[in-house]
Amino acid sequence: MSLLNKRTVAATLAGAVVYGLVARLAFSDSLPIAVPMTFTFIFLVPLAVGYLAFAGAPPGERRAFHAVLIPLAAAVMVLVTVLAVGVEGLICVVMMAPVFMAMALLGGALAWIVRSIANRRLRASALLVVLVLPYAAGPLEQRLPQMQSRRVVENRIRIRADEAAVWSQIIRVPAIRPEEYHTTFIHRIGFPRPIEATLSHEGVGGVREASFERGVLFRETVTEWTPLRRLSFTIAADSIPTKTLDQHVTVGGEYFDVLDGTYEIVPVAPGEVELRLWSTHRLSTHFNPYAALWTDFVMRQIQGNILQVVRDRAEAHGPSASPHVENGS
């Protein structure tokens, strides 16, 4: 690649990054154009970024290989930039990354096809349409109702302990020591870990206060109490400090909420039980099929972590063995 071509590619990538950053600032919760949590921003903006990045590349860099490399580089640079300037948090960037990069690659492929058109005016018109499309579609999408769905996520774990030992560990959860945590991907990207759960009184109507790191607190009201078998409760966000979670993934917010949870103890052999934990969460976006992949994943990891702590504590009072863990939804 010549020095001139390197400079041209660098300028093209810079232009694509500026476009992506401006789009994120324009798609703001405080501006009338549109909000970030829309199909338009999540899918059409990266399409435009990828298209622009490849369409502006010099002729010598417009082969199929470059239609992959240049848009992908532009998408990564946009994500890093919005994170660096603070308009997006790490959690949102990680969740956006797969679809953002995929759509940027699609944009590059589209630009690679359009470059074969001999008419320069048509190529310029195609570029203009792609760049303007998010700004035209965003306000229209805001008029559409959000998809509303309720999803149930279930985890299961085998525990070599009796029902009483397990029951005592789920109705109340004493403070979890750092060495008891099983670090998961979601905790590495910023989701707080559980700390403890208290219970006001046993039986239906009892209130569990589930504390998480960084001041997150949930109020869980018991709706079903079957000793040694089942514990069900509603869940309401009681305290979530502003900077603890990205505003677009905050529990109890416009787009996501956890509604209820249930523990069930099922005997499977003498001195061994299967503990099941499932919860219902509400999802309200314009792209629920994609968002659900993440919300299910997050809930599954949170529940799995809690179950492992319960297992380790319950088994500490019984015969030691290597348990079998099952996850399902």
Domain map (residue ranges) of the chain: 3-142, 147-328
Q: pLDDT by residue (tens digit) across 56-107?
A: 776 655 566 677 889 999 999 999 999 999 888 899 999 999 999 999 999 9
- Dist. CA 162–CA 220, nearest whole Å: 25
Quick one: pLDDT at residue 61? 54
Whether the per-residue pLDDT at 309 is higher than 70: the answer is yes
**Terminal CA-CA length for the chain:** 50
The pLDDT of residue 46 is above 80: yes
More confident residue, 63 or 285: 285
CA atoms within 13 A on the CB side of 78: 35
Average pLDDT over residues 138-151: 92
The structure's pTM equals 0.85
Q: In the chain, which ranges are continuous DSSP H helix?
A: 3-26, 39, 45-55, 64-84, 90-114, 120-142, 163-171, 185-188, 288-315
Fold of 147-328: Alpha-D-Glucose-1,6-Bisphosphate; Chain A, domain 4 (3.30.530)
d(CA 263, CA 257): 19
Confidence of residue 52 (pLDDT cuts 50, 70, 90): very high
- DSSP conformational letter for 175: P
Quick check: 315 and 159 in contact, CB under 8 A? yes
Question: What is each CA distance from 157 to 20, 274, 285, in whole angstroms?
Answer: 44, 6, 32
Q: What is the 3-state secondary structure (H, E, C) of 189-245?
A: CCCCCEEEEEECCCCCCCEEEEEEHHHCEEEEEEEEEECCCEEEEEEEEEECCCCCC
Q: pLDDT of 128-138, one tens digit each?
A: 999 999 999 99
- For residue 189, what pLDDT is reported? 87
Place of tokens 């399409």: 47
Q: Return the pLDDT at 196.
A: 93
Structure tokens at 109: 């492929």
Residue 321: pLDDT band (50, 70, 90) is very low
Q: Which residue has the higher pLDDT, 125 or 242?
A: 125
Q: Mean pLDDT, the chain, as a whole number?
A: 88
| Per-residue pLDDT, 29 | 75
Classified as helix, coil or strand, 225 is: strand
Mean pLDDT along residues 153-167 = 96
The 10s digit of each residue's pLDDT in 187-232 is: 888 888 899 999 999 999 999 999 998 889 999 999 999 999 999 9
Q: What is the pLDDT of residue 65?
A: 66
Residues 225-244 pLDDT 10s:
999 999 999 999 888 877 77
Pull the structure tokens for residue 93.
């960037």
CA torsion sign for 22, 191, 249, 38 is positive
> Rounded distance, CA 179 to CA 230, Å?
28
Q: What is the number of other CB atoms lying within 10 angstroms of the CB of residue 147?
A: 15
